[in-house]
Every structure is written in C-alpha cells, then in structure tokens.
C-alpha cells in the first residue's frame, strides 16, 4: 500500500498554487491520474519516484517511510524500486534498444528482454540507437524499460500517447498483465477516457494542483461531467 | 660515476671539444653538459639541482655558491673570456665600435646582465662609452649569451654582444663578421670553476676538473679564443 | 608597487586581451565549419588547428623567429614594404600568441556547437531563419558555458604564455617583457622577493577574476 | 497546391522498406497522415520541410519546384516557408515562452503573440523557459510557434497528443481556424480518429512506408475496417 | 637519429603519459563534484582549480621551487624522510606538470557532464542504479567527445610544457630534458638542423595522433 500526503509549491498557468495530494493506493491497484495540462500530474510522479522533494508531508510504501518532512526522511530513488517512465522517454542515447531494456534489469535475463521486445514489436529495431527511432517506437522502448526493472511501484507518464489505436490497445493489455504479474502499485497518467476505463481500478482527478475527486472511474466521471470531459466521445 | 657539469653558455663549443678529448682518454667516463646563464645555473644549484661541477663565466657566481657552503675544494680560474660584437649585415670588423652609431641598427642583442657576465660586461662597456642611454631602446636581452648570439645570427638583431668563442663557431663565423672589443675597455672576464658538494664524493668530477685545467686542454681553449691564466 | 611592475602587468593584459579578441573573430566561423560541415581532409585540418596544443612553444617560437628574420622571405617582405620587424616586438609576440592559442579557442567552441541538438537548428531553418541568424539567436545563447570556457582558456593561456615569448620576445620592457618572463628573470637573478611580489599579485588577480566568472556562470545553468 | 511524388529508403520494425508517397494536396486542404508507429509519417513531414532528402522524386508547391532529384533541385527549408511542429517540440531552451513564439514571426507583432498565448492558455507562463514547462505546455508552445510564422504549408506532428480532452477540442478548433485564415496547405499527423474526422478534409493512410489509401475520411475508413482501427470507439 | 634524441622523446612521452594517467584518476571525481554537487565556496574552489590556466607557468614553477627547497618545510620533510629532493628531478617535474595541467583535464570533463540532460541520471536512479554505476554506464559513454578533448588537451599541453619544466626541472639529460627544452637548447646552440629534426618529428607525431583522434571522433557523433 502506498500512502501519500504531500504538498509542494508549483507555478501553473493559473499562477502560483500548491500541489496537494492525499491518497491511499492499495496493493495491486492501478491508479489513473487525470487532469488538465499543467495540473501537476508529472510533478506528483516525480515526487513518488524521489526525483522532486515535496515541501511538506509523508509518503509511506508498505512499512517503509519514503519521505517524511518532519522526521527529515527522504530515501533515494534507488531505494524505492520504482519503474518510472518519463513523459519525454529519456532513453539512453548511447545504448541500443536492447541495451536500454536490459540495463534496467536487476538480474540479467536475456529471454525476458527478448520477450519484452517481441511484445512491444521492437525486435527488428533491437540494434538501433534511440536517435534513429520514430516517436512511437521511442515511447515503446521507454515503457518496456520501465517494466523490465520489475518495480514495486510502476509510474507511467502518458505511456501510450504517441501510439496508434491498435498498438495502444495491445499495450494497454500488456500494462495490465504486467501490473498483475508484478503485483505492483501502478500510477498512470492518461488523457484518454477509454484508456482510463479500460485500465484503472481507481482515478484521481487533479485540477490546478488540487485533487478534486477520487474513486472508481465510473463514480468519478459520472458526477463530474462539468469538470471533465466537456464533451464525451 | 657520471659527471653533471653546469657550464656557462659561452662554453658551448669549447667544452664539447674538451669533453671529446677527455672521453678519448677515459672511454668509460660519462659527462653530461648542461649550458645556461651563469646566474641561472647558480640558482638551480642552490635549489638542489644535482650538478657536480660548475664552470661559470666569471669568478663571482662561483663565489656565491662557495659562501653558501655548497662547494668543495677551492675555486680555480680556467680561462679569460673575450667580448666581441657580431653582425651578419654590418661590416663590424672594419668599423669596430663605431658601428654602434649606425642608423641601420634597429636592435642590439645583449645577454641578460643580471645572470650572464658577458651581458654585464657589455652593458658596462656601453655605459663607459656613453652609448647606453642612446641605444637603450634598441637593446633586446638574450636569456644567456648563446641566445644572444642566436638573435644576432638570425639577423633579428643587427648587432650582438657575444663571447668571442661563440663568434668563432663555424656557423657564426661563416655567416657574419665579428670584432673583438679591446680588453682594456672592460673589466676582464675571469672565468672560474668549482666542484659542488655532493652526497657521495664524485671522484670523476674532480678528475674532469683536473683535465679542464690541465695543459692537455690548453690548445683547445686557445683555439676558441680564450686567454689563459699565466700561472696555469 | 613600482611603475615597471605595473607596466609589465598591463602589457600582459594587453597581449592576452588582443589575442582573445582576435581569436574570437577567427574562432567562431572556424568552429562552425568544423562542427557542422563536412569537407575532404577534415581530420587533417582539425589536427593542424590543434597542433599548437601539442607542439612545444619553443618549436613554434623557433619557426617564428626564422620566419621573422629579415634574412628570409617573409621577414624581408615586411621590412621592405612596411618597415616593420616582428621579432622582439609586441606585434610579433601577438601573432605568435594568436597562433599558439588557436586550439584553446576552437576546441571548446566546437564542442559546444556539436552538443546542441540538431533539431534546434532545423526548427530555426523551417522558421525561415538564415544560418547566420540561427547562429546568433539560437546557437550562441545555448552554448554560453562553452563560450566562457573558450574565452577563459584563451585569455588564461596567453597570460601564462612563456615559451614563445622567451624565444621571439627578447625581454624588452614595455614591448615583450610580460609577467611570465619577468618572474622567470627575477627568479634566475635570485631576486626572490620581486618574484614573490609578481607571483602573488598575479595569483590574487587571477583568483578574483576566475571566482567572479564561476560565480556568474554557476547561477546560470546550461539550459537556463 | 502541393504535389508530392517521392521515394526514400527507411528502416522500420518490419525491416528495410521504402517510403513511397504520391499525393496532390489542394490549397486549403487539411490532410491527415494516419498510420502505425514507425510507418514513416514523421519522415514524410521532414521531407516536405526540406530537412530530410528523398532518394528520388519531385515536390512542387504551386509553381515552385521544392525538390527534383533529376534536375538536382533541393531548395532550403528557409525558402519553403513551412511551419513545422516537431514531434518532440524542439523549443529553444534559451528563450522564454513568449520569445519562442515571437522568434518565429517574420514581422514582429506583439499583439499577435499575445493573442496566440491567450488562445493556447500560456499567458501566465510567458516568461518561463521551456525546461520549466509541463509536457502539454511545451506542446502548446510548439504549436503556437509553428502558427506564428504564418507559413504557406503547415506541418504538424501529433500536435495535440499530450493534451487533455478539453484542450484538445479547443485547439482543434484553433488549428482549423488558423488553417482557414492563413489559407495554407496543412499536413497533420494524428492517431486520434475523432480528431481526424473533426479536422481533416482528406486522409492518407500509410502502412510501412506505403500509402494504402487516400481520400475523404469517411471513404478511407469505411472500407478499411480491417486495417484501422481494429476496434472503433 | 641518435640515442639522445630518442631518449628525449621517450622522456617527453613518459612525462605526458604519466600526467594524463594521474589526472584521469583525479579528474573524473573532481569534475563530477563540480558538475553536480553544490557546496559552499564552490566558485572559489573552481577558481583555484583553474588557476594554473591563468598563472604563468613561471609563477607555478617559482612556488614549486620554493616548496621543494630543503630550506622549507615540505622540502625538508621529503629530504629527511625519503631522502629525495624534488627540484630538478623527474618526479618534481611530474608533480608540477600534474598541477599545471589540472584545468585542462577538469574543464572539458565538467563541461561534458553538465551538458548531459538531467533526465538520464534521473532515469538511471529510478532503475536502482547507484551514482557510480550511472556514472560508468550512462554518463561516460555519453560524453566521449569531452573525454577525448580532455585527454588530448592534457597530454598535448604536457608535451608542449616548457616554462614549468625549465624552472623546476632545468635541463638535465635523461631526467628533465624534455623535447621542448631540448629544442630551446639546440636553437641556442644554433644546431638548427637538430632543432629542425626535433620539431619536425614532434610535428609529424602530433599530426598523426591528432588526425587519428579526429578521424575516430568524427565517425561517432556526440549522440551516436
Ligand atoms: N534519424 C533516423 N535515421 C534512421 N532511421 C530513422 C530515423 N528516424 C526514424 N527512422 C526510422 O524510420 C521509420 C519511420 O520513422 P518515422 O519517424 O517517420 O515514423 P512515424 O510514422 O512518425 O512513427 P511514430 O508514429 O511512431 O512517430 C521508423 O521505422 C524509424 O525506425
Ligand atoms: N522543472 C520545473 N520547474 C518549475 N516548474 C515546473 C517544472 N516543471 C513543471 N513545472 C510547472 O509545474 C506545473 C505542473 O507541471 P506538471 O509537469 O506536473 O504538469 P502535468 O500535469 O504533468 O501536465 P501535462 O499533462 O501537460 O504533462 C506546470 O504548471 C509547470 O509550469
Ligand atoms: O656564458 Mo654566460 O653566463 O650566458 O654570459
Ligand atoms: Mg506531464
Ligand atoms: Mg513520428
């Protein structure tokens, strides 16, 4: 279980605000972060990963305190064992597709890497360097890499936004499978309602740094037509 | 045992020849020659450079070392140097010191008077001839006497105050003209040498010193234009 | 502090300043060519530019001295047509210093240019900006640390220049007697106190300038 | 009118193929490029912008030959007056949001810049540098910049993929308006069927480098259920 | 080519090689600290490291000479406990050379490190990689051009070193008589042929090494 209760100053397009999030994510839960551009979704993931320090609050994963502003605890990203997929991928330019993925593994397992590359339709590109990949190909490598590290907590920042519909569906399936297989807590940012309904067991709606609703997807979106989306599909 | 000799720059050619002669007699000996301005060498020896034998261009620099207690055995004069002016473009052998008044001269090369006795004598000479003030702006300083010779040799300076021994070097003599400044016009350049105190007594150094002072090398000194002390 | 001493420092600054200015003008276009253009024999060309890095200053000094000599074509040409002699003159040392510091300017600039993502240039081109505008508005502002490194290394390297100057300079006060030479001289003459004074002042000045540069530079991050 | 007839070698996840596109885009047409990840959409846009050189073929815009492999013509990106929005934005890190946009203008017009920033909800961020923007904010700046240059041909590579649904709708509207106002030829890459239907006057379906269908959106997608999308919304 | 000549070249290579190796070991951690860590007085620390860039080699040489002297604490300590005297010895020149070349190693490395996007490090950390692993596996491979520049500049700068060597090392054959000194000496002896021979050989060796480096470097792009 991941318990979050944090606060952090943030500059948004509405001016200065605070990102304030309180949430409890159960083991095995797949949480979707949903919200406007600049609402603070990426910032929250970075805070969970240990890359950005909240101004105040606590983060506890199972029995481990990851962050506590009062006790001045802030354990490093390495110790958190998260799999973080960046919104801009951050693939290592010096490594091929295959190396990027195998680098993430804690124990080398070539079969696993091959399986991932097959699942993500990257086999033919295994010896390519990132500079020579298309946008969607980069995104798939980044996702495969985040999964390869077998994390306790999986943080995915718009993992499928650059993919076509087919691929998107297929990979939604893979994310769900990985989530179940690894028995992780997963937090995923998405702008795609279909995706949210397909994947999420719960949703957090963020607006301007503040959580305005959280719960099961159906509950959250039913009462909130005024917030999001203005127009359904 | 090898001998590290710190030698004033004016000895460049002479000492090479003496070394050859010495090695002919002592085929197993090893002699390393390092040339520089006398003052530079004194500074290096004071700061711990591992020289065994110092041959200066005057008798004051060895004295400095002696006062600091860095030497063994007394200092010995091995030769008297002669000051010459050298030029590749001007007819110095005919005009003598008058050439210094020539308007064709843009630069005059002199060794750094602080560290090179030959340079010091050259400045002394210019001062006593009342030429120093008028020529001052044309003077370029060589780090030691052989760099000075080289400035003149390449023609970058029309005139160089050099050691006669350098002007006699085949390259120099072939390319330009020199004039020996009358020895009465400057304080004699009495060149002395001295053994440096080393941790282990270097007997080879003493042997080399003896050779330098011996009649065996007399002809070589004279060939290169040095005068010899009467007693030796 | 006496007048000689101040003059020597001013001369040193003048030499370093001019060298840096001249190399700025030469350096940018050359670094640009090396970073972005392909042409035959480019590695040889790059190597030639880097030569002064590897060549002892005395080698360069030696060749300059030979070239400047009125006995040789170049020196004679200057003497006859311009009535100048470069040996033992400020100009002569300046030319040698520019040649000698060339790679200290080019290398950091070239490195800075190559590490700017290609898409910045491409974007500017599609926006109709010329290579020149792109260079001024997009490339230069994104390589400030490299430019500072280039300027600092060049200026610094000139202040430290010794080998070339001792070979072609002739130790003329006000012309070619820069600080490094002056210190050498004082040490050789065992005027340790004077040497100390020069060294100390240079040390303090350098430390102040550099601390200033790094304080400013530290505030700006590479990508602002 | 933009006439395209080009060929270029390409490595895709299916191995080596050629990107081969023949198309005529009328003035005022808004063309959507639609296709799998790695199909060659970005490559086609780069070719149109003059950033990648085709191996063979011709590109003619109105009466100007942009590229002709036989006559060895290849005019520079500067002379083509395109507005190209990169898939990875390529914002200038040294310029603020405002500067990034105004830099694109051929004639400085502060009002225009302010209007664009307002439209794209970027006013509060006008003095921010790109490094401090969220993913969606970056995307909006990139789009605003491409429009600010008032191009003859507008090339947009997944311009709205990182945006939430509201924003997406609003900006679709803006793209359409700009397209009409500037009277441009627009080529847009999108993975979103809704978007294609909303915006495009014609569609090109690319698969593995080859155009497999082109025409009006309704025509293209009606007969092609087997290709795309496998599952409709 | 005579034995002296070969010995001089070997000695030069030995000095430059050792300096580069030692500075590699020192350089990476220092550059890492400077690039990524914040600490008080960092600009002063950076300035101190860059000092040898700005200080004339003769200043450094002078201070080394003073430090090495058995009349002072450090020199006396060495003399009493190790029975070594550093002035005018190879070790003494090596120490001076390491100090003097420090910024030529640090600056390019630090520049290379700062220009690697932060997200690469962040990604590696979230993947559980230690700072050390990240450094070896992610940072170093993405800054190859900077590493090559650092090594080339350092090695090259040592080969060209003259001022420090002549002050700290003098001109002792086999100990401190490196190529730059030898050339200086030969020029003074007006052995232009020998000077030319040294210069030419150094020129050719340098040109070859550098052309090789640039050919390899040219093939690899910064981001592969
Ligand atoms: N710089 C490059 N050098 C070589 N090959 C490249 C380069 N960029 C892309 N490719 C390859 O060319 C093919 C087409 O790439 P392109 O970027 O055009 O795809 P795309 O249709 O835009 O895909 P996406 O929707 O994923 O962005 C891909 O298979 C990719 O591997
Ligand atoms: N490095 C940064 N420094 C300062 N402010 C930042 C930084 N990155 C983002 N911000 C600001 O913080 C706010 C939240 O950004 P964040 O990246 O979390 O948004 P987001 O919800 O992920 O948006 P998007 O959907 O557009 O990616 C934004 O308004 C942005 O301007
Ligand atoms: O031989 Mo000297 O000591 O250069 O005048
Ligand atoms: Mg985000
Ligand atoms: Mg693409």
Split at pLDDT 50, 70, 90, the class of D228 is very low
Selecting from C128, C137, C142 the residue whose C-beta is nearest the C-beta of D93 gives C142
pLDDT at C217: 64
Interface residues on D facing C, Cβ-Cβ cutoff 8 A = 49-51, 76-78, 80-84, 86, 88, 90, 92-95, 103-104, 106, 129, 131, 145, 149
- Name the residue with higher pLDDT: A224 or D197: D197
Summarize the confidence of residues C37-50 as an average pLDDT: 83
Task: Give the pLDDT score at E1.
Answer: 52
pLDDT in tens, A167-224: 888 889 888 888 888 888 999 999 888 888 888 999 999 988 888 888 888 888 775 5
Q: Nearest to residue B204, comparing CAs of B2, B23, B17? A: B2
Whether the predicted pLDDT of A126 surpasses 50: yes
pLDDT tens-digit readout, A4-24 = 999 999 887 777 889 999 999
pLDDT at A99 over 80: yes
Answer whether residue C63 shows pLDDT above 70.
Answer: yes
Q: What is the pLDDT of residue B63?
A: 93
What are the pLDDT digits (tens) for C176-195?
Answer: 888 888 888 888 888 888 88
Chain E residues with CB under 8 Å of A88 CB are: 119
SS3 C55: coil
Per the structure block, which two tokens stand in for B105?
Answer: 């001269």
Ligand 2 proximal residues by C-beta, below 6 Å: A 10-13, 35, 37-43, 87; D 125, 131-137, 162
Chain A contacts of E142, Cβ < 8 Å?
Answer: 92-94
Distances in whole angstroms, Cα of residue A159 to Cα of each of A168, A169, D193: 9, 12, 19
What is Dmax (Cα atoms) for chain D?
A: 51
* CA of C122 vs chain B CAs: smallest distance (Å): 53
**Nearest C-alpha in C relative to B138:** C172
Q: Nearest Cβ partner of C85 from B88, B106, B143? A: B106
Domain definitions of chain C by residue range: 3-37+44-215
Task: Specify the pLDDT at position D225.
Answer: 47
**What's the confidence (pLDDT) of residue E222?**
35
Which chains pack against D, by 3+ Cβ pairs within 8 A? A, C
* Ligand 3 within 6 A of CB of B9: yes
* Over residues D182-202, mean pLDDT: 89
Q: Where are the domains of chain A?
A: 1-79+178-225, 82-150
The Cβ of residue C41 has, within 10 Å, a number of other Cβ atoms equal to 10
Residue C16 CA to ligand 2 center (angstroms) comes to: 46
Rg over alpha carbons for chain C, rounded to the nearest Å, is 20
Mean pLDDT calculated for residue range C22-28: 94
Q: Do residue C207 and residue E149 have CB atoms under 8 angstroms apart?
A: no
Mean pLDDT, residues E82-110 taken together: 87
Residue nearest to atom 5 of ligand 3 (CA): B116
Integer Cα distance of A155 and A137 in angstroms: 19
Pairwise pLDDT comparison (B73 vs A227), residue with the higher score: B73
**Ligand 2, atom 27: nearest CA belongs to which residue?**
D135
Q: Which of C128-132, C197-201, D81-85, E53-57 has the lowest mean pLDDT?
A: E53-57
pLDDT tens by residue, E130-180: 999 999 999 999 888 788 878 877 887 788 788 888 888 888 888 888 888
Atom 17 of ligand 1: nearest residue by CA position: A134
Report CB contact under 8 Å: A124, D163. Answer: no
Query: How far is Cα D125 from Cα D91, in angstroms, rounded to an integer?
Result: 14
Point out the ligand 3 atom lying closest to the alpha carbon of residue B144: 4
Between these two residues, D187 and D219, which has the higher pLDDT value?
D187
Confidence of residue D224 (pLDDT cuts 50, 70, 90): low
Residue E183: CB atoms within 10 A of its CB come to: 30
Whole-number Å distance, alpha carbon A204 to ligand 4 midpoint, is 15
Ligand 1 centroid to residue A137 C-alpha, Å? 8
d(CA E10, CA C50): 22
Chain C contact present for B44, CB below 8 A: no
Map residue C160 onto helix, strand or coil: coil
Check pocket membership of D39 for ligand 1, CB cut-off 6 A: yes
pLDDT above 90 (res D15): no
Query: Å from E133 to nearest chain A CA?
Result: 11
Nearest Cα residue in chain A from D33: A164
How high is the pLDDT of residue B200?
Answer: 80
Count of beta carbons in the 10 Å neighbourhood of residue B195? 23
pLDDT class for E223, splitting at 50, 70, 90?
Answer: very low
| pTM score above 0.80 | yes
Q: Which of A42, A136, A229 sits opposite D135 (nearest CB)?
A: A42
D7, with CB counted inside 10 A (0-12, 13-18, 19+), is: middle
Determine the average pLDDT of the residues in E203-210: 75
CB contact under 8 A, E206 and C159: no
Q: Please give the number of the atom of ligand 1 that sits closest to the Cα of D43.
A: 18
Q: Does B36 touch chain E (CB under 8 A)?
A: yes
Average pLDDT of span A132-148: 91
Is it the case that residue D184 has pLDDT exceeding 90?
Answer: no
Q: What is the pLDDT of residue D70?
A: 93
D-chain CB neighbours of A193 within 8 Å are 165
Q: Looking at residue A10, what is its pLDDT?
A: 87
Q: Which residues of A touch E (CB under 8 A)?
A: 49-51, 76-78, 80-84, 86, 88, 90, 92-95, 103-104, 106, 129, 131, 145, 149
pLDDT of A223: 59
What pLDDT shows up at residue A144? 93
E202–C54: do the CB atoms touch at under 8 Å? yes
Please write the tens of the pLDDT for every residue from E6-32.
888 888 889 999 999 999 999 999 999
C66 in B contact zone (CB under 8 Å):
yes
- Residue E170 touches chain B, beta carbons under 8 Å: yes
Residue C132 contacts D, CB cutoff 8 Å: no
What pLDDT is recorded for position A188? 92
Q: How high is the mean pLDDT of chain A?
A: 88
User: Has residue E182 got a pLDDT over 90?
Assistant: no
Contact between chains at E42 and C218 (C-beta distance less than 8 A): yes
Q: What is the pLDDT of residue E192?
A: 77
Instruction: Tell me whether E4 touches chain A (CB under 8 Å).
Output: no
In this prediction, residue A230 carries a pLDDT of: 43
Compare E122 and E80 and report the one with higher pLDDT.
E122
CA-based nearest residue in chain D for residue C223: D93
Q: Decide if C91 touches B, using CB distance below 8 A.
A: no
Of E53, E152, E210, the CB nearest to C156: E53
Write the secondary structure of chain B as one string of H (helix), E (strand) and C (coil): CEEEEEEEHHHHHHHHHHHHHHHHHCCCCEEEEEEECHHHHHHHHHCCCCCCEEECCCCCHHHHHHHCCCEEEEEEEEEEECEEEEECCCCHHHHHHHHHHCCCCCCEEEECCCCCHHHHHHHHHHHHCCCHHHHHHHEEEECCHHHHHHHHHCCCCCEEEEEHHHHCCHHHHHHCEEEECCHHHCCCEEEEEEEECCCCCCHHHHHHHHHHHCHHHHHHHHHCCCECCCCC
Class of domain C3-37+44-215: mainly alpha
Which pLDDT score, from 0 to 100, does residue E216 have?
A: 66
Whether D158 contacts D187, CB under 8 Å: no
Which atom of ligand 3 lies nearest, measured to the CA of B119? 5
CA of B39 from ligand 3 middle (Å) equals 8
Distance B164 CA to ligand 3 centre (A): 12
Task: Tell if the CB–CB gap between E62 and C187 is shorter than 8 Å.
Answer: yes
Whether there are 3 or more C-beta pairs closer than 8 Å between E and B is: yes
For residues A66-80, average pLDDT: 92
Average pLDDT over residues C100-126: 88
Determine the pLDDT at residue C173.
81
Q: Cis link prior to D229 (omega < 30° from 0)?
A: yes
pLDDT-based confidence at residue D49 (cuts at 50, 70, 90): very high
E132 touches chain A (CB under 8 A): no
The residue that leads in pLDDT, D68 or C151, is D68
* Contact list, A90 vs chain D (CB under 8 Å): none
**In this complex, do E170 and B49 lie within 8 Å of one another by their Cβ atoms?**
yes
pLDDT confidence band for E219 (50 / 70 / 90): low
Sort out which chain A residues have CB atoms less than 8 A from D87's CB and list them. 135, 162
The CATH code of domain D1-79+178-225 reads: 3.40.50.300
Mean pLDDT by 10 residues, chain B (232 residues): 91 92 91 90 86 93 91 90 92 87 89 92 93 90 89 88 91 87 91 89 90 90 84 40
Alpha-carbon gap, residue B166 to E199, rounded angstroms: 24
Chain B CB contacts of C78 below 8 Å: none
Across the interface, do B39 and C66 touch by the CB < 8 Å criterion?
no
Query: Does the beta carbon of B4 sit less than 6 angstroms from any atom of ligand 3?
Result: no
Contacts for A59 with CB less than 8 Å, ≥ 6 apart: A2, A3, A4, A5, A6, A47, A48, A65, A66, A67, A68
Give the ligand with the smallest distance to the CA of A8.
Answer: 2
Q: What is the arithmetic mean of pLDDT over C26-54?
A: 86
């Amino acid at each position: 279980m991941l318990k979050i209760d944090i606060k952090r100053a943030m500059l948004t397009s509405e001016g200065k605000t605070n990102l304030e999030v309180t949430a409890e994510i159960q083991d095995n839960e797949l949480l979707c972060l949903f919200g406007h551009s600049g609402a603070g979704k990426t910032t929250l993931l970075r805070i969970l990963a240990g890359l950005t320090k909240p101004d105040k609050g606590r983060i506890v994963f199972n029995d481990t305190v990851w962050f506590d502003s009062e006790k001045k605890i802030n354990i490093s990203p390495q110790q958190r064992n998260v799999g973080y997929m960046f919104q801009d991928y951050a693939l290592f330019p010096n490594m091929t597709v295959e190396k990027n993925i195998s680098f993430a593994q804690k124990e080398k397992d070539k079969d696993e890497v091959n399986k991932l590359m097959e699942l993500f339709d990257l086999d033919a590109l295994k010896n390519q360097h990132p500079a020579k990949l298309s946008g969607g190909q980069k995104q798939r490598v980044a996702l495969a890499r985040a999964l390869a590290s077998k994390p306790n907590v999986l943080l995915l920042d718009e993992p499928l936004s650059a993919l076509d519909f087919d691929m998107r569906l297929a990979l939604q399936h893979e994310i769900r499978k990985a989530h179940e297989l690894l028995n992780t807590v997963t937090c995923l940012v998405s702008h795609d309602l279909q995706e949210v309904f397909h994947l999420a067991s719960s949703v957090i709606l963020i607006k301007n740094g503040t959580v305005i609703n959280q719960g099961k997807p159906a509950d959250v979106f039913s009462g909130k037509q005024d917030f999001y989306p203005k127009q359904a599909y | 045992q090898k001998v590290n000799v710190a030698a004033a720059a004016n000895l460049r050619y002479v000492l090479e020849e003496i070394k050859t002669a010495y090695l002919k007699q002592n085929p197993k000996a090893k002699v390393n020659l390092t040339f520089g301005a006398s003052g530079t060498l004194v500074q290096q020896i004071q700061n711990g450079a591992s020289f065994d034998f110092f041959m200066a261009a005057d008798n004051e620099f060895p004295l400095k070392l002696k006062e600091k207690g860095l030497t063994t055995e007394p200092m010995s004069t091995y030769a008297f140097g002669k000051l010459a002016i050298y030029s590749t473009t001007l007819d110095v052998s005919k005009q003598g010191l008058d050439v210094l008044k020539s308007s064709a001269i843009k630069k005059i090369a002199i060794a750094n008077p602080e560290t090179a006795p030959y340079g010091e004598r050259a400045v002394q000479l210019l001062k006593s001839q009342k030429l120093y003030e008028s020529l001052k702006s044309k003077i370029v300083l060589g780090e030691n006497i052989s760099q000075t010779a080289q400035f003149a040799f390449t023609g970058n300076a029309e005139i160089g105050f050099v050691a006669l021994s350098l002007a006699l070097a085949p390259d120099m003599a072939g390319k330009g003209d020199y004039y020996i400044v009358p020895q009465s016009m400057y304080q004699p350049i009495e060149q002395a040498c001295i053994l440096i105190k080393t941790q282990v007594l270097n007997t080879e150094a003493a042997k080399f010193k003896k050779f330098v002072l011996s009649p065996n090398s007399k002809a070589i000194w004279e060939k290169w234009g040095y005068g010899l002390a009467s007693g030796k | 502090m006496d007048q000689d001493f101040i003059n020597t420092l001013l001369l040193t600054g003048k030499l370093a300043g001019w060298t840096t200015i001249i190399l700025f003008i030469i350096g940018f276009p050359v670094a640009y060519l090396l970073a972005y253009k392909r042409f035959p024999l480019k590695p040889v060309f790059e190597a030639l530019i880097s030569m002064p890095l590897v060549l002892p200053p005395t080698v360069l000094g030696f060749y300059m001295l030979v070239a400047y000599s009125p006995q040789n074509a170049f020196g004679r040409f200057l003497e006859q047509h311009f009535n100048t002699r470069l040996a033992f003159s400020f100009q002569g040392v300046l030319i040698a210093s520019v040649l000698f510091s060339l790679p200290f300017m080019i290398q950091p600039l070239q490195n800075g240019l190559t590490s700017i993502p290609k898409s910045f240039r491409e974007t500017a081109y599609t926006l109709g900006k010329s290579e020149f505008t792109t260079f001024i508005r997009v490339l230069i502002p994104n390589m400030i640390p490299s430019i500072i490194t280039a300027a600092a290394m060049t200026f610094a390297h000139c202040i430290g220049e010794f080998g070339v100057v001792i070979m072609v300079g002739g130790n003329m006060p006000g012309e070619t007697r820069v600080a490094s030479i002056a210190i050498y001289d004082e040490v050789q003459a065992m005027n340790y106190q004077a040497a100390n004074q020069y060294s100390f002042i240079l040390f303090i000045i350098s430390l102040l300038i550099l601390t200033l540069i790094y304080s400013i530079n530290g505030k700006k991050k590479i990508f602002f």
